Copies of this chain bind each other. A is one copy, B any other.
Amino acid sequence: MSAIPDFHAVIPAGGAGTRLWPLSRAGHPKFLLDLTGTGRTLLQGTVDRLQPLAAGILVVTGTRHADAVAAQLPELGARQVLAEPSPRDSMAAIGLAAAVLLERHGEDVVLGSFAADHVISGTEAFERTVREGVVAAQAGYVVTIGIRATEPSTAFGYVRSGRSLGLDEAPSAQHVEGFTEKPDALTAAGYLATGEYRWNAGMFLVRARVLLDHLAAQLPALAAGLVEIAAAWDGPDKQAVLDRVWPGLTKIAIDHAIAEPVAAAGGVAVVPGDFTWDDVGDFASLAGLLAGGTLGDASAVQRIDADGSLVVTGDGRTVTVIGLPGAVVVDTPGAILVTTREHAQAVKRGVDGWRAQGRDDLL
């Protein structure tokens, strides 16, 4: 496998992963955790997957986690970790990376953005998809990766594909007809029946210059601010410029800032991704990823009439689950969570409850 010339991977590493609380917390968010029991964190796994393909990798994260990110990725070097002074949503994060890449590597850079906290398996299919995506990006498109929908999930947005782009080097790339927000179950089932819809996993590729040009057209102040910061990033004025410009940047998701308006104008393509993808969005999802249902020390877990239960062990304590198929038990130093896979989406309510009680130490 050889690196793709001019292709730089950008990994936005943010988000606490509230639905994985108390495993994932503000102080040690989901992307810094080894959730698959492989010995590599989700962030490390993301870098492992991209490093053979990319000419370079940038991680964009908050100042709070920059040291932890750099420590987990000694092979990258601290210069490849961009620390945001405060969270300004995904457009600022990825736009900053695009502008820095243009400064450092010039006009031909294609960036590919991949979340730091997803799990992907199927290396060859992933590589094929990325290579086609780069080709389509070089042709000027904003390219999203459309994941084959294996069920009518209501947890993801969908992307609808249209006619082929007609690119020899990217034969499966198609025009995007549009994006949808998370649908209800009936609508999702309808999507699957058509065969035209895929999950929008938030992975996309685009020439850095194309991205910034779109941004300049849609949100010129934001684009100008990012360009100004990027110009100062590797120099002595970085902190002063950041202090002055960053707090005023528009907070907006890249989907709303770029993907949706540009799709409406015909500038977005989709490359189908037929690898296995999981956003590990909640404990039900995590349970599905773990063969034995245990994250941690399997010898410390005893299940009696508790098929399909997920147990996360901690601190050497044993966990005994009796009569609760599908239970979720998460043991962490300060907090134990007990729920079910069915209630995986309700974990956020527990976090909200502790916050309302002022127990920020638990969050």
Residues of A within 8 A of B (CB): 22, 302, 304-305, 316-324, 327, 329, 331, 333-340, 342-343, 346-347, 349-350, 353-354, 357, 359, 362
> Residue of B at shortest CB range from A353?
B302
User: Is A304 a contact of B353 with CB atoms below 8 Å?
Assistant: yes
Q: How far is the CA of A335 from the CA of B302 in the complex (A)?
A: 11
Known: A302-B353, A304-B349, A305-B343. A336 touches B324 (CB 8 A): no
Q: A336 touching B362 by the CB < 8 A rule?
A: no
Distance of A318 Cα from B360 Cα, bound (Å) = 13
Given contacts A305-B346, A346-B304, contact A336 B354 (CB under 8 A): no
Known: A346-B304, A346-B305. A319 touches B333 (CB 8 A): no
Known: A322-B337, A322-B349. 14 other contacts (CB 8 A): A302-B350, A304-B346, A304-B349, A304-B350, A317-B336, A318-B334, A319-B336, A320-B338, A321-B339, A322-B339, A322-B343, A322-B346, A322-B350, A329-B336
Q: How far is the CB of A176 from chain B (nearest CB, A)?
A: 38
**Bound-state Cα–Cα, A22 to B320, Å:** 10
| Nearest residue, chain B, Cβ from A302 | B353
Contact yes or no, B346 A320, CB < 8 A:
no
B323 touching A337, Cβ below 8 Å: no
- Shortest CB-to-CB span from A278 to chain B, Å, is 22
Residues of B within 8 A of A319 (CB): 335-336, 338
Chain A interface helix/strand/loop/mixed: mixed
When the two chains form their complex, are residues A354 and B318 in contact, meaning their CB atoms are under 8 A apart? yes
Quote the shortest CB–CB distance from A284 to chain B (angstroms): 12
Assuming the contacts A324-B340, A327-B338, A340-B323, asked whether A318 and B359 have C-beta atoms less than 8 A apart, the reply is: yes
CB-based contact A333/B317 at 8 Å: yes
Contact B302 A354 (CB under 8 A): yes
Nearest B residue to A301 via CB reads B336
Q: CA–CA, A342 to B343, complex, Å?
A: 20
Q: Which chain B positions have C-beta within 8 A of A349? A: 304, 322
5 smallest A-B Cβ distances: which pairs? A323-B343, A322-B339, A320-B350, A318-B335, A319-B336
- Complex CA–CA separation, A318 to B361 (angstroms): 11
Provide the residues of chain B in CB contact with A346, threshold 8 Å. 304-305, 322-323
A241 vs B342: C-alpha distance in the bound complex, in angstroms?
63
Residues of B within 8 A of A343 (CB): 305, 322-324
12 pairs of residues in contact across A and B, judged by CB atoms under 8 Å: A302-B357, A304-B349, A305-B346, A317-B333, A318-B354, A320-B337, A320-B339, A322-B338, A322-B339, A323-B342, A324-B340, A331-B336
- On chain B, the residues within 8 Å of A304 by CB distance are 346, 349-350, 353
**Would you call B322 and A324 a contact (CB within 8 A)?**
no
CA distance A349 to B305 in the complex (A): 10
